[in-house]
Structure 1
Amino acid sequence: MARHIIILSFVAWGHMRPECNLAVNLARRFPHLTVSLIADADFQPNAQGEVERIVGEGEKAVLSRIRVLAAGHALAGITPQLMVGAASLDPREFRSPPRESTLAVENVVHLIMKGEDFEDDNGVKWSGVAQKPNVLISDMFLADAAVPLKKAYGFTLYMYWISIAAAYTRLYGTLAVGGQAEGYVEECAAIEADPERSKGRPFSQIAKQTFAYSGRYPDDIVRAKGLKPSYEWEDFPQEFWLPGMYWSIAAIYALVKACDGLLLPSVLALDKEGTEGIKEWFCAERARPIFSLGPQLPASYLDAHQSASSESSVTGAELTISYTSPKLESSNKVDPSIAFLDEAFAKYGANSAIYVSFGSYMVPEGKHIGYLFDVLMELEEPMPFLFATASPALQLPEGLREKVIASGKGLFVPWAPQQAVFQHPATGWVVSHCGAGGMSESLAQGMPLIAWPVAADQPQNARWMSEVLETAFELLQVRTGIDQKKAFRGGLNGTDIIGTEEAIKAEMRDVLHRARGEEGRRKRANANKAKQLIHDAHMPGGQVEQHYQLFGKVIA
């Protein structure tokens, strides 16, 4: 029997990309299912391109049942200059994404529900689908659209969470289980209303400081199931704040409470304790299913093996993504990143190079990034390095690029095909902010990390990989966030955060040395074990396939 579902995706590539994969994975498994994937109008061509890239040869029937519709302009008016001053804006007046954009998403859903022909926000004409959708899957940031749509049409609403289970508990669980959302908005308002507590601070500072350190946990220690204990301030490791971080609670908490179930991009063999931790609070008042559907990556990437070749085994070439030029064209030539890694492999062998990449907007302090390259260029035994500089928020030290070029030891590129980089035999380590997408891609290829988290779920991801899975090192001395006095780890007394140039460079040298030694080999072996567990979960009859079939009953 024909079925129809809607997926609301978010504009950030770390969200949109796995949501494109989710659409393909669902359409591939359920041959009578139509998927309407709603993407930001400015990035709809990217979403369409990603869907086409990951659909395999001979799967035109699958592609015909995935409709990538354009709605809204979430980044309209957002410039690098605005981003610089965004931290001082009152987040209550700077909703993220803008309400105009989520209203546009609602409007396209209204048009779908009429079952008639219509045009999307890019002027593309779509035929009506007789079978009206019964299930709505929403990205966390589309809460402002998802919650009223559920009320209007009675959808079965599932929230798609892009990260590990423990990060979901840390952000949205009750205080008793280590969560942050409970009472956060009310506490910010109470502080603002009390002159003795506000001390003349604007609301932007109150929201930021309460987010970073609320003092609501016994001994300032957070205990969230699936992670080792940590101090509260460790989840704000960098001096980074955007109004959207306030809305990640103020708007999305309503979706957490309203949704009928949760979809996770994990496998239970890796994230069972964290998933059990969610059940303790998420399912406490009513039965709400939680399905672990595995990393949302192309099947060809999950099945791929490293190859000493300039060609990636992933279906299709990766899309070039730019948040300043969304319609940037790709080239058919060998990517300079891959050519650099080919040369490193020929000269230094397998696992010899290090890849450095941070988020679309969440990046560390430029001065500290410069310290890393200083250390890499000083190594007696070369470690060729590749740095993807895609983020418009990067502010690198003056003269750094020229210094790197002169050294002959590294390459800066405006964008890199990350999945192909992870598959390349020369790539040995990745320095990463530990965004959910890069984390999934690294684990799926057995790639160990050097974690440098900035904000959001990244600190939890970094601790999970470094302390639970033991597939990563984490840099601690680079922390610049509020109240970074100490890290919980590092013995009975923890680790003092000194944060000087000398301390930062000393830690970087130490980590790179350990990465090349026995400890690094052990972490690489653990990463390969994680890769195998992910692979096994996707096999016929495996845990991921079981959960897809269970979710299929929800769709039916």
Structure 2
Amino acid sequence: MVGAPLKHIVFLAGPAGSHIGAAMIFNARLLSKFPNAYISLYTIASCVAQAEKYLGMHSESVRERLRIVVSDVQPVTPLPTDAILAIEKGFNEWILKQSGTSPFNTGKHTVAPPSCIIEDFIHGGTGLMEQEKHKLTVVPWWPGAAGAMLAQLGNEENGNGSRLPDRIWEAMSRQNAGDEKPFEELYKAELSDRVIHVPGLPPFYEHETATQFLPQEPMVIEACTGAFSRPLKPFCVGPALDLPPTPISEPDSTDEFLDKAYAELGPRSVIYMAFGGFFFPLPESVHHLEIIIQQIVAQGFRLIFSLSSPFAQLDQLLKDKITKDGNVILPSWTNQLKVLEHPATHYFISHGGWNSTAEAILRNVPIIFWPFALDQTTNATHIAKNLNCGFELIQVRTGPAKSKAYPDILITGSDEAVREEINNVLEMSKGAKGLQQRLNMKALGQIMKKSIQKGGSGDRALEELGHAIGL
């Protein structure tokens, strides 16, 4: 007997490694919760291998109800903006074809035409561009902390995060052809020292929202309902955590380095540093990076510095200098979960993207934040200041943010200031404050785990979301 066709959800994934991983975990949870659902995940070719790797970690029931659709239009550069534009061009044509089709058969299931689009916020409304034609419900998906969303998108009463980009776009539209000002000049002209207030976060200056030129949540969730130009219904489905055990992989140089440090120096003897797939300190900050590395080693730690970003450019002379004594390694890729789970790992120096932050929380590893922009600055503020689960480096700031931090912390950005700051942070990490931060991380990790377990707040919200989109 043939059952009713599966409900077909289209997921428009963000074209970045961290977004793909979070998307696959979220979609697997949705499929596990709703056996009548089928998902087409739309992405670009460079993200397929990672998506397939995550998919392979899940049950057959999940794997047979999720297909990966590759965009016909591919980006010409590794920049995220190019990838987003490529997906936009390919997706709109594809979704119009899909919405006018009949049910199709996968061999095991009959699948109805799409009934809903879930879109990663990074795309900025791609699914809405042709909505009058495809007539599908579009549900935005924010793969991060709610406070960061309000800081970037909230209305005047809730951070007014859209003020700055709106003003910059207005200034750009007023320019005459042939007399355009550089974006950097417009950005600095429109940036203000106004104090931003986001529910659940400490106040901060507007210029602190991009620090490199380049419990909060319940309170913030309540604010989300009326924090935008139109009311919305938030579904707080919980973090995209990789609760299954880390896949076993072949030992590599990173494992050997950690094991050796543990044998020779004991637990909490290695600092792990990584800035994700797209961020890296600017050339003007490389000397600060060198100072931080020097002080890590001088304080008796060893260092794993992952250079996974295509923008991770270090001079070969500098690489040779910092690795010559064997206390530092510079792998081009690391299995981050394995590093964070190793007992030799002490702290994680990170840009503060939400995926990296959540992975560290789940593994009880406190963070030393070096944020750049986007949600990273509010993640750093909340995790370091509100929850006392880490530190934030402020003397490394560049551009307009190299002035003062709220309320009155002077940022000089001198070599001596950077050296003093990192030394103080490392000393505190070895003492009572560091111990307390690790305990706080453990407690926070338990809360995150419980939220997505059966009956938890995230699990209940996921069920509500499914019902809202017709599952």
TM-score of the pair, normalised by structure 1: 0.77
* 1:15–1:377 CA distance, 2 compared to 1 (3 A): same
Give 2:198's aligned residue. 224
Q: Conserved in 2, the CA contact under 8 Å of 1:354 and 1:430?
A: yes
Give 2:183's aligned residue. 204
Give 1:522's aligned residue. 436
Give 2:140's aligned residue. 159
Q: Conserved in 1, the CA contact under 8 Å of 2:15 and 2:84?
A: no
Amino acid at match of 1:339: E
* 1:95–1:467 CA distance, 2 compared to 1 (3 A): closer
Q: Secondary structure at the match of 1:356?
A: strand
Amino acid at match of 2:334: A
Give 2:222's aligned residue. 276
Give 2:76's aligned residue. 77
Q: Conserved in 1, the CA contact under 8 Å of 2:361 and 2:444?
A: yes
Deviation, 1:418, is 0.7
Amino acid at match of 1:500: S
* 1:73–1:353 CA distance, 2 compared to 1 (3 A): farther
Deviation, 1:438, is 0.2
Deviation, 1:369, is 1.4
Distance 1:485 1:180 in 2: 20
Distance 2:318 2:390 in 1: 27
Deviation, 1:65, is 0.4
Q: Conserved in 2, the CA contact under 8 Å of 1:103 and 1:145?
A: no
Higher mean C-alpha displacement, 436-445 vs 137-146 = 137-146
* 1:100–1:377 CA distance, 2 compared to 1 (3 A): closer
Distance 1:461 1:455 in 2: 10
Amino acid at match of 2:260: E
Give 1:445's aligned residue. 363
Give 1:21's aligned residue. 25
* 1:538–1:128 CA distance, 2 compared to 1 (3 A): closer
Give 2:191's aligned residue. 214
Instruction: Give 1:339's match in structure 2, choosing from 256, 261, 273.
Output: 256
Distance 1:446 1:207 in 2: 41
Deviation, 1:550, is 1.0
Give 1:304's aligned residue. none
Q: Secondary structure at the match of 2:225?
A: helix
Q: Secondary structure at the match of 2:295?
A: helix
Q: Secondary structure at the match of 1:77?
A: coil
Distance 1:36 1:275 in 2: 29
* 1:281–1:64 CA distance, 2 compared to 1 (3 A): same
Q: Secondary structure at the match of 1:464?
A: helix
Q: Secondary structure at the match of 2:272?
A: strand
Query: 1:140-155, aligned counterparts within 5 Å?
Result: 140-155=121-136
Distance 1:183 1:511 in 2: 32
Instruction: Note if 1:432 corresponds to 2:350.
Output: yes
- What 5-or-longer segments of structure 1 have no aligned partner? 84-93, 119-124, 241-268, 301-312, 318-331
Taking only the aligned residue pairs, the percentage that are identical comes to 24
Deviation, 1:484, is 2.2
Query: 1:447-486, aligned counterparts within 5 Å?
Result: 447-486=365-404
Higher mean C-alpha displacement, 467-476 vs 535-544 = 535-544
Q: Conserved in 1, the CA contact under 8 Å of 2:14 and 2:20?
A: yes
1:171-199 C-alpha deviation (Å, 9 max, x unpaired): 1111332122147335543477379xxxx
Give 1:263's aligned residue. none
Q: Secondary structure at the match of 1:293?
A: coil
Amino acid at match of 2:423: R
1:215-254 C-alpha deviation (Å, 9 max, x unpaired): 3xxx6211111210011111121121xxxxxxxxxxxxxx
Give 1:362's aligned residue. 279
Give 2:211's aligned residue. 237
Q: Conserved in 2, the CA contact under 8 Å of 1:149 and 1:155?
A: no
Deviation, 1:396, is 2.3
Amino acid at match of 1:12: A
Higher mean C-alpha displacement, 182-191 vs 456-465 = 182-191
* 1:207–1:128 CA distance, 2 compared to 1 (3 A): farther
Distance 1:412 1:178 in 2: 39
Deviation, 1:272, is 1.1
Q: Conserved in 2, the CA contact under 8 Å of 1:71 and 1:105?
A: yes
Total equivalences in the alignment: 461
Amino acid at match of 2:162: A
Q: Conserved in 2, the CA contact under 8 Å of 1:3 and 1:555?
A: no
* 1:410–1:153 CA distance, 2 compared to 1 (3 A): same
1:368-410 C-alpha deviation (Å, 9 max, x unpaired): 211111112222xx21111100112123255222123222212
Deviation, 1:201, is 6.6
1:440-491 C-alpha deviation (Å, 9 max, x unpaired): 11112221100000111111111011111111100011111215211115xx
Deviation, 1:43, is 2.1
Deviation, 1:340, is 1.4
* 1:366–1:183 CA distance, 2 compared to 1 (3 A): closer
1:252-278 C-alpha deviation (Å, 9 max, x unpaired): xxxxxxxxxxxxxxxxx6621222222
1:84-121 C-alpha deviation (Å, 9 max, x unpaired): xxxxxxxxxx9654544312112222333233699xxx
Q: Secondary structure at the match of 1:228?
A: coil
Distance 1:532 1:95 in 2: 36
Q: Conserved in 1, the CA contact under 8 Å of 2:45 and 2:71?
A: yes
Give 2:318's aligned residue. 400
* 1:285–1:239 CA distance, 2 compared to 1 (3 A): closer
**CA RMSD, Structure 1 to Structure 2 (Å):** 2.6
TM-score of the pair, normalised by structure 2: 0.90
Distance 1:377 1:446 in 2: 23
Amino acid at match of 2:402: Q
Q: Conserved in 2, the CA contact under 8 Å of 1:366 and 1:397?
A: no
Q: Secondary structure at the match of 1:239?
A: coil
Distance 1:28 1:8 in 2: 19
Distance 1:411 1:540 in 2: 41
Distance 2:132 2:83 in 1: 20
Amino acid at match of 2:118: I
Give 1:253's aligned residue. none
Distance 2:86 2:417 in 1: 46
Distance 2:369 2:341 in 1: 19
Give 1:40's aligned residue. 44
Q: Secondary structure at the match of 1:399?
A: helix
Q: Secondary structure at the match of 1:413?
A: coil
- What 5-or-longer segments of structure 2 have no aligned partner? none
Instruction: Note if 1:178 corresponds to 2:124.
Output: no
Deviation, 1:71, is 1.0
